[in-house]
Structure 1
Amino acid sequence: MMAVSLATLAILPTLSSAQATTDKRIKIGVLTDMSGVTADATGAGSLEAAKIAIEEAGGKALGQPIEIIFADHQHRPDIGASTARTWFDVDSVDVIVDIPNSSVALAVQNIAREKKKIVMFSSPGTTALTQAQCSPYGVQWTYTTYALARGTASAVVDQGKKNWFILASDYAFGQQLAKDTAKVVTAKGGKVLDTVYHPLSTADFSSFILSAQASRADILALANAGGDTINAIKQAAEFGVGQGSQNIAAMLFMLTDVHSLGLDVAQGTYLTTPAYWDFNAGTRAFTKKFQERLHKAPTFLQAGVYGSVRHYLKAVEAAGTDDADAVMAKMRELPIDDAFSQNAHIRDDGLVVRDMLLAQVKKPSESKGPWDYYNILATIPGADLVWPLSESQCPLVKDKNS
């Protein structure tokens, strides 16, 4: 486990003893992917995003320096759970953020619930985090598979692409995204011809792509992430998929994925994104700070880490303590006001409802420079991208309504 301490960036006025934290410090743990298939979209960028949020808070909370540590979970639930337990029990971590990989996230959610500690998920998309396995201490900050499926699949089916072949990664995230995509396609009058699963970090997608071709589906839908999405699209292009009558829909598509593929390969792809670096003055201001450190634009996952840490620290100040129950109450009460979060709030089940953007990857001739990759076609209201609370499986919602 690697750790780094962030020095105090500003001296704030001394606050009253009533506002003292329970252990005299605020400590944030960034549990992320530093070396795997999602490292480019999370990893070092997630860590820097958290640091920027801390800097903007003045480097202190309640008069105490804010510390930050990080670790690589290696996409293993056992490592993620063990790290979380050590952070809570030994290192006095107050909140864990990011956690790409839904299986790891669910394992960490269990530990955080047991320890009554806060965890804010930016990078995992499984709906289980805020459905059946929800926690009074968990916040699903950035997106869900349900939201991405509703945004992208609805738009593509409406264009007349009715027959789908779904290729998904074989773990909790991919399974849920495939299920959510199929549900939307069917509800819109389309048909899922087949759904197949591949292991995480697959090197050879040829057999899956040949099966998709043989199905004669209009759409090869990719329900995977990071390097798996990039490799699948590259290999699909070698077989001519995406260049003729059979198109590709990447259900989770990152800015870094487009950058790796290039606009020649990725152009025309529809996607739903919770955030885009060039959306407004605030997002551009954050991106300037981010680029000075990492020389690239942030993904929406990294932007989510920034927003979640920012909101947590505001809630700590408002609560006057780092007590998890008091901070959670303030996080639900306070408006979410970072530049990447439009019309956002935290529901009773821990899900952040937010407007998202329907985008299309630009043609090379449309791009004005590095990272200028998206045409923003529409804003999708957050209410259209979440399941109603009346259908919630979350015990917190059921208990409140009983």
Structure 2
Amino acid sequence: MKLLTGVTATIALSTGIAMAQDVSGDAVKIGAMVDMTGVYSANGGMGAVLGAEMAIEDFGGEVNGKPIELLSANYQNRVDVASNLAREWVDQEGVDMIIESTDSAAAIAIQNIGKEKDILTVAAGSASTALTNNECSPTGIHYVYDTFALATGTGNAIVKNGLTDWFFITADYAFGHSLEENTATVVKELGGNVINTVRHPFKATDYSSFILQAQSSGAQVVAFANAGTDFSTALKQASEFGVVQGGQTIAGMLVFLTDIYALGLDVAQGLTYTTGFYWDYNDETRAFAERFKERHGSMPTMIHAGFYSAVTHYLKGVEATGSDDPATVRAWMGENPINDFFAKDGYIREDGRMMHTMYLAQVKSPEESEGEDDVAKVLREIPAEEAYMPLAKSTCSLVNG
């Protein structure tokens, strides 16, 4: 019985070019595992699958004479489903690479399966730094962002503006814990304090008790270490409780374009956040975003754009090496820079971290906005070496082993 829990899309455009000598099977197969129905469905979901589809189409639908096939499925925000699906894709479908936009626990499970079965995996939606530390893998790549970069960008900006006392409202699972820990470290290193932390369950609907604790704490900053609809729901309720009107600053530690759309500028205006991509940054980002919107109906998030970039870089590796062997392709991907609309002079380190510029952004006010998609502005670039954890601090066995 198939474990595919969502849509399976296949792109296979054959040509008359001679078949590659060292590509296994009759096709190069990529599996995209996403949340299609849950809290991450807007920032990843079918938009991430579309990003992969567009990358394959722009590549010509084949590589070295082999058709490229894309399988996609909904993992239902369940680690067991993600794990079973990954094993089925590898064992029964012959998938060569798995790319995900899942939660961190599922991403770690997928990366471990990739290591076990010698399959390349790309984490393009999850955030935990464990992926490039204790759980690092010679066949694993962490592509779009991570909790260290989010904490570095937003934490630095807010503390350096004199707001030093923080209260965390944190999602109670691997991603939330990692984001809170990384941000708290930045705050403390800059001389700030963590007044208190409360943790909420995944897919919570009522944040009132957490918000009231934050308001009574005396903290200058109320930081939401959560994502997706958890974040947007919490922020809406914080607005209803008058957190900002009461003199506190809200820090969104992981904010997606889709969150800003969901919240509206009246609620989200002034929110400072860190992102790996903003659609209106330059001519290249705008060109991709307009093509994406024609098919998806809205501008791409950093995950959507990151899927396109990661799939393209992978396919370039297969093309250049004439092989889908994970070690061979991974070596090429690490040795060759990434230069596209998503990253300039990006590169993949030995721990699997894809190093690229991050951006400190701010949500515009309704008065500043010039259209429905004109929702944010980039305040500054954060160079990769500043944004991401230095290798000197890494606990990855590939670095210190």
Instruction: Name the TM tier (shorter chain).
Output: over 0.9
Q: C-alpha separation between the residues in 2 aligned to 1:119 and 1:242?
A: 41
> Is contact 2:101–2:303 with CA below 8 Å preserved after alignment?
no
Q: C-alpha separation between the residues in 2 aligned to 1:156 and 1:5?
A: 43
Q: C-alpha separation between the residues in 1 aligned to 2:342 and 2:264?
A: 25
1:52 pairs with one of 48, 51, 54: 54
Q: What does residue 18 of structure 2 align with? A: 15
Identity among equivalent positions (%) equals 45
Q: C-alpha separation between the residues in 2 aligned to 1:17 and 1:342?
A: 30
> Is contact 2:20–2:323 with CA below 8 Å preserved after alignment?
no
Q: What does residue 310 of structure 1 align with? A: 312
> Is contact 2:321–2:328 with CA below 8 Å preserved after alignment?
yes
Please list the CA deviations of residues 219-249 of structure 1 after superposition, one character each: whole Å capped at 9, or x if unmatched.
1100000000000000011110123311110
Q: What does residue 97 of structure 1 align with? A: 99
Matched residue SS, 2:377: strand
Matched residue SS, 1:340: coil
Matched, 1:291 2:298: no
TM-score (norm 2): 0.97
> Is contact 2:220–2:248 with CA below 8 Å preserved after alignment?
yes
Q: C-alpha separation between the residues in 2 aligned to 1:99 and 1:310?
A: 16
Q: C-alpha separation between the residues in 2 aligned to 1:353 and 1:22?
A: 30
Q: C-alpha separation between the residues in 1 aligned to 2:365 and 2:167?
A: 25
Q: C-alpha separation between the residues in 2 aligned to 1:4 and 1:112?
A: 20
Matched residue SS, 1:192: strand
Tell me how far 1:342 sits from its aligned partner: 2.8
Give the counterpart letter for 2:177 in structure 1: Q
Q: What does residue 132 of structure 2 align with? A: 130
Tell me how far 1:13 sits from its aligned partner: 5.6
Indicate the larger mover: 69-78 or 42-51: 69-78
Matched residue SS, 2:26: coil
Give the counterpart letter for 1:353 in structure 2: M
Q: What does residue 203 of structure 2 align with? A: 201
Indicate the larger mover: 283-292 or 264-273: 283-292
Point out where structure 1 has 5 or more consecutive residues left out of the alignment: none
> Is contact 1:148–1:272 with CA below 8 Å preserved after alignment?
yes
Q: C-alpha separation between the residues in 2 aligned to 1:59 and 1:119?
A: 21
Matched residue SS, 2:380: strand
Give the counterpart letter for 2:392 in structure 1: S
Matched residue SS, 1:301: helix
Matched residue SS, 1:24: coil
Q: What does residue 233 of structure 1 align with? A: 235
Q: What does 1:99-178 correspond to in 2, within 5 Å?
A: 99-178=101-180
Matched residue SS, 1:342: coil
Q: C-alpha separation between the residues in 1 aligned to 2:276 and 2:298?
A: 18
Q: C-alpha separation between the residues in 2 aligned to 1:236 and 1:221?
A: 11
> Is contact 2:362–2:378 with CA below 8 Å preserved after alignment?
yes
> Is contact 1:123–1:301 with CA below 8 Å preserved after alignment?
yes
Q: C-alpha separation between the residues in 1 aligned to 2:41 and 2:393?
A: 34
> Is contact 1:12–1:58 with CA below 8 Å preserved after alignment?
no
Tell me how far 1:390 sits from its aligned partner: 2.0
Q: What does residue 363 of structure 2 align with? A: 361
Matched residue SS, 1:359: strand
Q: C-alpha separation between the residues in 2 aligned to 1:84 and 1:17?
A: 25
TM-score (norm 1): 0.96
Please list the CA deviations of residues 317-347 of structure 1 after superposition, one character each: whole Å capped at 9, or x if unmatched.
0110111111111111111112111331000
Tell me how far 1:30 sits from its aligned partner: 0.6
Tell me how far 1:284 sits from its aligned partner: 1.3
Tell me how far 1:17 sits from its aligned partner: 4.7
Q: C-alpha separation between the residues in 1 aligned to 2:152 and 2:262?
A: 26
Q: C-alpha separation between the residues in 1 aligned to 2:381 and 2:337?
A: 20
Q: What does residue 4 of structure 1 align with? A: 8
Give the counterpart letter for 1:398 in structure 2: N
Give the number of equivalent residue pairs: 397
Q: C-alpha separation between the residues in 1 aligned to 2:310 and 2:46?
A: 16
Tell me how far 1:3 sits from its aligned partner: 4.4
Instruction: Spell out structure 1 runs of 4+ moving beyond 6 A.
Output: none
Point out where structure 2 has 5 or more consecutive residues left out of the alignment: none
Q: C-alpha separation between the residues in 2 aligned to 1:3 and 1:322?
A: 25
Q: C-alpha separation between the residues in 1 aligned to 2:251 and 2:133?
A: 26
Tell me how far 1:67 sits from its aligned partner: 0.6
Please list the CA deviations of residues 284-324 of structure 1 after superposition, one character each: whole Å capped at 9, or x if unmatched.
12112211111100111111111110100000001101111
Q: C-alpha separation between the residues in 2 aligned to 1:255 and 1:17?
A: 40
Q: What does 1:217-366 correspond to in 2, within 5 Å?
A: 217-366=219-368
Matched residue SS, 1:375: strand
Tell me how far 1:12 sits from its aligned partner: 5.0
Matched residue SS, 1:39: coil
> Is contact 2:19–2:66 with CA below 8 Å preserved after alignment?
no
Matched residue SS, 1:378: strand
The 1:352–1:273 alpha-carbon spacing in structure 2 relative to 1, beyond 3 Å, is same
> Is contact 1:276–1:340 with CA below 8 Å preserved after alignment?
no
Q: What does 1:80-91 correspond to in 2, within 5 Å?
A: 80-91=82-93
Q: C-alpha separation between the residues in 2 aligned to 1:27 and 1:7?
A: 10
Give the counterpart letter for 2:60 in structure 1: G
Tell me how far 1:104 sits from its aligned partner: 0.4
